[in-house]
Amino acid sequence: MKTDSPPSRRALRWREPSVLPGFIPSFGFVVVYLSLIVLIPLAALVARPWERGIGGFLRTVTDARVVAALQLSFTSALLAALVSALMGLVTAWVLTRYDFPLRSLLDAAIDLPFALPTAVAGIALATLYGAHGWIGGRIEPLGLKIAYAPAGVFVALLIVGLPFVVRSVQPVLADFEAEAEEAALTLGAHPGQIANRVILPALAPALLSGFSLAFARAVGEYGSVIFIAGNMPMRSEIAPLLIITKLEQFDYAGAAAIGLVMLVLSFGSLLVLNRLQLALSRRGV
């Protein structure tokens, strides 16, 4: 007599009742909501660039101006996210481990880029780093030009990325047991070994998460950049600005083509970072 094969683990997982009831309606609501807010708009973005065929799409995304803008956006975002990760870790350490006057004021100031309109931040940066600004007026005679140059893009992206790293690392540092550091110290470890083998491994997933958020925000940043970058094609023009330019020229397919390239590159980068973060978490790093 033929017997049925035992169900797989995945099937058993779906049949097991959940501790929290209401999974089916909750899951359905999430899928519908994400479809309306994220998936359907992205589907429209994917469909629009092909109005001129594959040839038109390739001509748009391989144009020298588009390539230069994409390269500037992603390179500046990567460098800014790396610096934000380092300085965000230091800032979170100071806010968590030390008690000093005006500490709460500094802690609140970290969130200003979240609340401040990006255009206001861009105007402030252009004023500060311009030729007659407090900083620009002193460094430009030395040959260091920030405003209206690619360096201005990097400076603007630093501001928008720092809060993501600080707020990702700060709760982990606050919950980190100081006894682990003290135990390592009593066993003869010097501060460098404690940082590399005790503190940083525990902070790695949170730090990588903050880096991912800072990078994602920097890639699409627009308002704070255009006022300080100078927006010169082939030199200091970012990809989001080029998309706006094509929309003003009623080149909707071209704008969607650039947006699609940014979407693919961003999604691929975030997918790699998320897989790395998951691997670190599973290893207990």
How many other C-beta atoms are found inside a 10 Å radius of the C-beta of residue 279? 11
Closest by Cα among 109, 71, 57, 77 to 235? 71
Q: Look at residue 238 and tell me whether its pLDDT is greater than 90.
A: yes
Name, in order, each residue with C-beta under 8 angstroms of 35's C-beta and a sequence gap of 6 or more: none
Quick one: which H or E segment has residue 261?
helix 252-282
Mean pLDDT over residues 275-280, rounded?
80
pLDDT 10s digits, 1-28: 445 555 555 444 545 555 566 778 888 8
Closest by Cα among 255, 220, 248 to 61? 255
- Model pLDDT, residue 86: 94
Give the domain extent around 69.
Answer: 64-282
19 belongs to a structural domain: no
- Model pLDDT, residue 210: 92
117 belongs to a structural domain: yes
Q: How confident is the model at residue 34 (pLDDT cuts 50, 70, 90)?
A: confident
- Model pLDDT, residue 259: 92
User: What whole-number distance in Å separates Cα of residue 236 and Cα of residue 71?
Assistant: 10
Q: Look at residue 52 and tell me whether its pLDDT is greater than 90.
A: no
> By mean pLDDT, which of 39-48, 132-141, 163-172, 180-189 is the weakest?
180-189
Number of domains in the chain: 1
250 belongs to a structural domain: yes
Determine contact, residues 173/92, Cβ cutoff 8 Å. yes
16 belongs to a structural domain: no
> By mean pLDDT, which of 16-25, 219-228, 270-279 is the weakest?
16-25
Q: Which residue type does 282 have?
A: R
Determine contact, residues 90/165, Cβ cutoff 8 Å. no
| DSSP state at residue 36 | I
39 belongs to a structural domain: no
- Model pLDDT, residue 99: 87
- Model pLDDT, residue 1: 46
Residue 89: CATH number of its domain:
1.10.3720.10
pLDDT 10s digits, 55-103: 989 999 999 999 999 999 999 999 999 999 999 999 998 998 888 888 8
Determine contact, residues 142/65, Cβ cutoff 8 Å. no
- Model pLDDT, residue 115: 83
- Model pLDDT, residue 250: 92
206 belongs to a structural domain: yes
- Model pLDDT, residue 180: 67
Q: By percentage, how much of the chain surpasses pLDDT 70?
A: 85
User: What whole-number distance in Å separates Cα of residue 103 and Cα of residue 95?
Assistant: 7
Determine contact, residues 91/159, Cβ cutoff 8 Å. no
Regarding predicted confidence, which is higher, 182 or 285?
182
pTM of the model: 0.83
Any idea which residue has 């620009």 for tokens?
Answer: 136
Determine contact, residues 261/219, Cβ cutoff 8 Å. no
User: What whole-number distance in Å separates Cα of residue 263 and Cα of residue 247?
Assistant: 17
Name, in order, each residue with C-beta under 8 angstroms of 114's C-beta and a sequence gap of 6 or more: 163
State the chain's mean pLDDT as an integer: 84
Determine contact, residues 240/73, Cβ cutoff 8 Å. yes
Q: Please calculate the CA angle 270-276-281 and round it to the nearest 5 degrees.
A: 125
115 belongs to a structural domain: yes
- Give me the phi and psi of 184, to 5 degrees please: -65, -35
Q: Look at residue 274 and tell me whether its pLDDT is greater than 90.
A: no
Name, in order, each residue with C-beta under 8 angstroms of 85's C-beta and a sequence gap of 6 or more: 165, 207, 210, 211, 214
